[in-house]
Amino acid sequence: MNVMYNKVPLPGYENYGTIIIHYIIPDGLQGDEHPNPGQPYRGTERLAYLPDCPEGKKVLKLLKQAFEQRLTFTVGRSSTTGRSNVVTWNDIHHKTSRTGGPTAYGYPDPDYLKRIQEELKAKGIY
């Protein structure tokens, strides 16, 4: 998990820059907690965006904890592609687009920072 910053604001957060989270998960072998232990899985690379405001910084800290505890991703079947044995999100919703609103996984979405904190709390991260 790498974190970058830029000054371009997200819609709805025009007074703040952007936090960019870059996740890189390499290919590997499934563990006992996965659907097919010992079988290979395909890794992934994902970008996610947060506003660089006080609440966004708090969410970033929580997302780091979730990632370190291996709660952000899991291995399974992709709901997008239908492929099995791939790295997928693990019920912590990320904004993977800068724009387009909630239906495009982007901003503006005024309730997103509160929702993701609730999702993280449900996984024991608060």
pLDDT tens-digit profile of 40-94? 999 999 999 999 999 999 999 999 999 999 999 999 999 889 999 999 999 999 9
- For residues 3 and 24, the answer to whether their CB atoms sit within 8 Å is no
Task: Name all domains of the chain by residue range, CATH numbers in brackets.
Answer: 2-122 (3.30.390.130)
Ramachandran class of 115: left when φ > 0, alpha when ψ lies in -120 to 50, beta otherwise = alpha
- C-alpha distances in angstroms, 112 versus 17, 20, 21, 58? 17, 16, 16, 13
Strand arrangement of the beta sheet that strand 44-51 belongs to: 2-6, 18-25, 44-51
pLDDT of res. 80:
86
